[in-house]
Structures are given as structure tokens and as C-alpha cells.
Structure 1
Amino acid sequence: MRRWLRHHRYAFLVAVRRLLSQPFSSLSNMLVIALTLATPILTASILISAQPVARQVSVSPEVTLFLKPDAPSSTAQQIAARLQADYAEKISAVRIAPRAQIYSRLKQDPAWADALAALPGNPLPDAVVITLKEQPDLARDAAALVQEWKKWREVDRVQHDSAWVQRLDAILGFVRVGLSMLAAVVALVVLATVFNTVRLQALSQREEIAVARLVGATEAFVRLPFLYLGALTGIVSGVAAVILAALALTPLNAALARLASSYGTQLALQLPDALSLALAVVVVAILGALAARWSVTRNTRF
């Protein structure tokens, strides 16, 4: 056990010495990996911060049926009764918005008063507002109901108020796919950068490795310092990426706060939880070690 620990301690110190012996090259490689990794971290921050906003939005959409302007006043009551009788399992509430009531409210609004005063009469139709029940496939069912209600003879127009919620969900889905692709790009960058770094190290120490083999060094003994070199590169790069992402959130949150305040709300981006960030650093370290093993295996066969 003590021999195993001494072996790993020696390999670790050799890896640190090799990193410090070429500081500019090491820092350049780590910076490339850190900047690449910071991009998906920031994307994940946006996704994590947007999901609570989407959850706070009511997922029970309201559908408004606007009746034809010449429809009798009793038509709205008839349609409401029909909806409650035929769609009770899909509707949680139905309310009627009489045209006279809406017209009266608009006339009290200074922004509409002058425009309505120029009209000869009330141009607004009666409306029936329907609140749908929450269900697993709500978006598809709501779209099907909208298409069905558009065909009713008394209905002039149907407005689906939750369409923007569906668009938001589609945007979040697009961001998730993009985040997966960014993660794949980061993995390739880590593999390529560490592979090239270890390749150059192995070629520059070709004679040292050859002498070590002549005196009985095993392949595991030769490879282990390079594995630590790749892992250390990944760890330092991962930590630097987290720091860069945290620094980038400061100006982003300042700009976002000004935008959110104009809408009377508050919103701030936040990094993923510590466990997820630690897992990302570990994954990058493992990728670095794998790239180092691959590189040293291919470039020390002499």
C-alpha cells in the first residue's frame, strides 16, 4: 500500500513539475478549455433561471370564444351551457363577458374613450371565456378544442391565450438540445487539447522515457504522470470555467435587472447547484485523463 501511495505521489509531483515547467503553454491550454466550458455553464444558468418562470405561468390556458356581432344576447348563455354539458371533463370554468359590460369598461379608460365616442354604437361582440383543466397532453388537446370550436356557427373568432406559453416551452426545449450539443463540443475540445499537450510532453521527454524503460520501468509507471497531467489540466480548467461564468453573470444580471424592472418584475441568472458544477469538473478531469492515456499510448511507442 505504501509503495502504491509513493508511486502515485511521485507521478503527481512529476505532473505538477511538468505543468510548471511550461507555464505559458499550460495556461494557454487551460484557458482554451475554461472558456469553452464556461459557455455551456452560462447556458445552463439561463435554462435553470428560465424554468421557474415557465412553471409560475399558468399552464391551464384560457380560450376565448368571440361570438358574431349580430348574435342574440342569449347566444352566449346557450354556448356556455353547451360547453359545460359536452366538455365537462376538459373544462374547469366557463364565464361570459357581455359586450355591454366590456364596452362600459373601455369607455371609462381614457385611452379608449375618444375612439369609442367616435363610433355610432357598440362594436364589441359577446365573449365566452373557457378555462381548461390541467392534463398531461394539454397543449395538443387545447389546440384540438380550438379547431373544433372555430367551426361553430355562432363563433366568429377563437383566441388561444396560452400560445406564448407553448412557444416558451418550445424555446426551452431548443435550449436543452443546444446545451447537449455544447457539452459534446466541450468534450471534443478537452480531448483534443489534452491529447496534443500530452503528445508534445511525451515527444520532448522521449529520451527520459526510453531510459526509464531500460532500467525496468513498467508501462503503468511511464503513463501515470501523464494521466495526472491530463486530470490536473481538466480540474484547473473546470474550476477556472466556473469562476469565469460567475464573473460573467455580474454584468448579465445587471442588464437583466434593468430589463425586468421595466416589466415590473425581478429576474436574476444563477449558476447551477454546487453538486452539478463539481460533477462537471470531475467529468472534465476524467476526459483529460482519458485523452492523456490515449495520447501517451500512441506517442511513446519507440
Structure 2
Amino acid sequence: MKRWLYQHRYAFAVALRRLLSQPFSSLCNILVISLSLAVPIVVAAVLDTARPVVQQIPVSAEVTLYLERNAPPDAARALADTLRTQHAQEIDAIEVIDREAALAELRRRPAWSEALAVLPENPLPDAVVVTLRQHPEIAATSERLSAQWQALDAVESVQVDSAWVQRLQAMLDFLRMGLWLLALGVAVVVLATVFNTVRLQALTQREEIAVARLVGATEAFVRRPFLYLGAVTGLISSALAVVASWVALQPLNSAIARLAASYGTQLALQLPDTVSLLLAGIVVAILGALSARWSVTRHTSF
């Protein structure tokens, strides 16, 4: 056991010595990896902040049917009775909005009274507001019913009041998928950078490795310092990426705070939780070690 610990301690010391022996090259590689890692961390912070905000937005399960302007006066109530009968299991409430009542309501508002006074006739249509029952598939139900009701006689247009929230949720899902693709690209950057670093180290120490083999060094003994080199590079890069992400979030938080204040709320971007950051750092270290193993195996076969 002591011998095993000594070998790993020796390999770790050799890896640090090799990392410090070429400070400029090592710093460039670490900066490339850390900046690549900082991008998905910032994107994840934005998504984690936006997701609860979207979930707290009240999604109205209302579908508004606007009738044609030349529809008979009783057409809206007849349509409401028909919908209540045919879709009793899906409808929670129905409200008929008379065009004359809607016009009178607008005329009581100072911003609209002068504009409506010059109109020769009522430009508003009768409307039927349908409130659907809440259930997990409310989005699909509202889309299906709105498409079905659009084809009804005397109905000119149908509006789903929660459509913009659904579009926002779809956009967040799209960005979340893009985050996974971005993380995959970052993994490729980590593999390529560590692979090239270890390749140069292996070629530089070609004679040293050959001599070590002549005196009986095993392949595991030869590879172990390179594996630690890849893992240490990944860990340092991960820590630097977290610091860079935190620094990048400060001006973003200042801008988003001013935007949120204009809507009378508070909002701040936060880094992902500590456990997620630690797991990400471990994954990057493992990727660095695997890339180093692949590189040293490929370039020390002599």
C-alpha cells in the first residue's frame, strides 16, 4: 500500500513539475480550457434564473373567440351554448362579451374616449371568452380546440391568451438543448487541448521515457505522470472558469437589475449550485486524464 501511495505521490509531483517547467504554455492551455468552460456556466446561470420566473408566470387557460362584425346579435350567446354543450368536460367557464358593452367600457377610459368619438360605428366584434379546465396537457388542449373553433361559422379569429408563455417555454427548452450541445463542444476542446499538451510533453521527453523502459519501468509508471498532468490541468481550468463566470455575471447582474426594476421586481443571475460545479470539475478532470492516456499511449509507442 505504501509503495502504491509513493508511486502516485511521485507521479503527481512529476506532473506538477512538468506543468511549472513551461509556465507560458501551461497558462495558455489553462486559459483556453477555462474560457471554454466559462461560456456554458454563464448560460446555465441564465437558464437557471429564467426557469423559475417562467414557471411563476400565471398561464391563463383562456381562449377568446372573436365573431364576425356582421354576425347576428344573438350569435355569440348561441355559440356559447353550443360550446358549453359540446365541450362540457374541457370548459370551466364561458363569458359572452357584447360589442356594445365593450365599446362603452372603452369610452369610459380617457385614453380611448376621444379616438372612439370620431368613429361612425362600433368597430368591435362580439366575443366569447372560454376558460378551460386546468390539467397537465392544457397547452395541447388549447391549441387543438382553438384550431377546431377557428373553423366554426361566424368566428373570425381565435386567440389563445397563454400562447406567448408557451413560446417562451419553448425558447427556454431550445436554449437548454443548445447548452448541452455547447457542453459537448467544450468537452471536445478539453480533449483536444490536453491531447496536444501531453503529445508535446511525450515527444520532448522521448529519450527519458526510453531510458526508463530500459531500466524496467512499466507502462503504467510511464503513463501515470501524464494522466495526473491532464487531470490537474482540468481541475485548475475548472476553478478558473468558475471565477471567470462569477466576474462575468457582475456586469450582467447590474444590467438585469435595472431591467427588473423597471417592471417592479428583483432578479439576479446566480452561479449553478456548488454540487453541480464540483461534479462538472470532476468530469473535466476525468476527461483530461482520459485524453492524456490516449495521447501518451499513441505517442510513446517506440
2:50 corresponds in structure 1 to 50
The alpha-carbon deviation at position 135 of structure 1 amounts to: 3.3
Q: How much has 1:28 moved relative to structure 2?
A: 0.5
Per-residue deviation, 1:71: 3.5
* Equivalent position SS for 1:9: helix
Q: How many Å separate the matches in 2 of 1:45 and 1:12? A: 34
Deviation at 1:68, TM superposition (A): 2.6
2:63/2:161 contact within 8 Å kept: yes
CA contact (8 A) 1:59 1:134 kept: no
What RMSD, in angstroms, separates the aligned Cα atoms of the two structures? 1.7
Q: Which moved more, 1:104-113 or 1:190-199?
A: 104-113
Q: Which blocks of at least 5 consecutive residues in structure 1 are unaligned?
A: none
Equivalent position of 1:246 in the other structure: 246
Alignment of 1:125-164 (within 5 A): 125-164=125-164
What does residue 206 of structure 2 align with? 206
Identify the range of structure 1 (230-239 vs 165-174) with the bigger mean alpha-carbon deviation: 165-174
Distance 1:12 1:241 in 2: 23
Q: Is the 8 A contact 2:60 2:161 kept in 1?
A: no
Match of 1:283 in 2: 283
The aligned amino acid for 2:25 is S
TM-score after normalising by structure 1: 0.94
Quote the Cα distance in structure 1 between the aligned partners of 2:69 and 2:95. Answer: 18
Secondary structure, in 3 states, of the residue corresponding to 1:291? helix
Describe the SS at the equivalent of 1:130: strand
Does the aligned pair in 2 maintain the 1:63–1:158 contact within 8 Å? yes
Rounded Cα–Cα distance in structure 1 between residues aligned with 2:68 and 2:200: 78
Conserved 8 A contact 2:227-2:293: yes
Within 1, Cα distance between the matches of 2:122 and 2:60?
A: 31
Question: Corresponding residue for 1:220?
Answer: 220
1:176 maps to: 176
SS at match of 1:96: strand
Q: Which residue type is aligned with residue 291 of structure 1?
A: S
TM-score (norm 2): 0.94
Is the Cα–Cα contact under 8 Å of residues 69 and 125 in structure 1 kept in the other structure? yes
Aligned to 2:9: 9
**AA matched with 2:149:** W
**Identity of aligned pairs, percent?**
62
Q: How many residues align?
A: 302
Instruction: Write the distance in 1 (CA, Å) between the matches of 2:23 and 2:134.
Output: 59
Contact (CA 8 Å) 1:195, 1:291: kept in 2 or not? yes
Amino acid at match of 1:294: W
Once residues 266 and 67 of structure 2 are traced to their aligned partners in structure 1, the CA distance between those partners, rounded to angstroms, is 38
Q: Which runs of 5+ in 2 are unaligned?
A: none
Q: Deviations over 1:117-144 (max 9, x none)?
A: 1123432222111122233433332222
SS of residue paired to 1:231: helix
SS where residue 135 of structure 1 aligns?
A: coil
**Deviation at 1:185?**
0.7
